[in-house]
Amino acid sequence: MPASDSGWWVYIIRADDETLYTGVTTDVDRRFAEHAGSQRGARYFNGRRPRAVVYTEAAADRAAACRREAEIKRWPRARKLALIAGAGTP
């Protein structure tokens, strides 16, 4: 994964039920591991398992990452899938 100057990332994880989860972190690999098997993971993954990180995007800082996360979360599924496929504009 390329380095982010600020260290903040927006990420999308595909769950085993094919749903998409969007979040922010400073370490995508660590956060995925937390979602996959620790008490520090999101409640979203209670009853479903994270399967893979399918999208990452560097952010200028924490505030920018949170704004982008909120924007993506408002999108319909089709637009998120287009972003993941590379057809969307980050």
What is the rounded distance in angstroms from the CA atom of residue 43 to the CA atom of residue 85? 26
- Domain borders along the chain are 8-85
pTM of the predicted model, to two decimals?
Answer: 0.88
CB burial of residue 50 (10 Å; 0-12, 13-18, 19+)? buried
Q: Can you give the pLDDT at residue 66?
A: 98
In a 3-state reduction of DSSP, which class is residue 3? coil
Per residue in 1-60, pLDDT tens?
555 556 999 999 999 999 999 999 999 999 999 999 877 888 899 889 999 999 999 999
CATH domain 8-85 topology: GIY-YIG endonuclease (3.40.1440)
DSSP label at residue 44: G
- Please spell the DSSP secondary structure of 47-80, one letter per residue: TS-EEEEEEEEEESSHHHHHHHHHHHHHS-HHHH
